[in-house]
Amino acid sequence: MGKRVFLFLGVNILVVITISLIMSAFGIRPYLTQYGLDYKSLAIFCLLWGMGGAFISLGLSRIMAKFAMKVQVIDPQTRDPQLQSLVNTISRLARGAQIPMPQVGIYQSPELNAFATGPTKKRSLVAVSTGLLQKMKTEEVEGVLGHEITHIANGDMVTMTLLQGVVNAFVMFLSRVIAYAIASALRDSDRGGRGISYGIYFLVSIVLEIVFMIFGSMVVAWFSRYREYRADAGGARLAGRGSMIGALQALQRNYEIEDPRSQPAFQNLKISSHPKGWKRLFASHPPLGERIARLQSFS
Residues forming the active site: 148
Q: In one letter, which amino acid is 48?
A: L
CB neighbourhood size of 93 (10 A): 26
SS (H, E, C) 221-289: HHHHHHHHHHHHHHHHHHHCHHHHHHHHHHHHHHHHHCCHHHCHHHHHHCCCCCCCHHHHHHCCCCCHH
Angle value at C-alpha 267, between 233 and 167, nearest 5 degrees: 70
Within 10 angstroms of residue 97's Cβ, the number of other Cβ atoms is 20
Which residue, 103, 112, 206, is CA-closest to 152? 103
Q: Read off φ and ψ for residue 104, nearest 5 degrees.
A: -120, 130
The partner residues of 127 in beta bridges, in order of sequence, read 105, 115
Phi/psi at 114 (nearest 5 deg)? -155, 155
CA distances to 172, 209, 258 from 220, in Å: 16, 16, 29
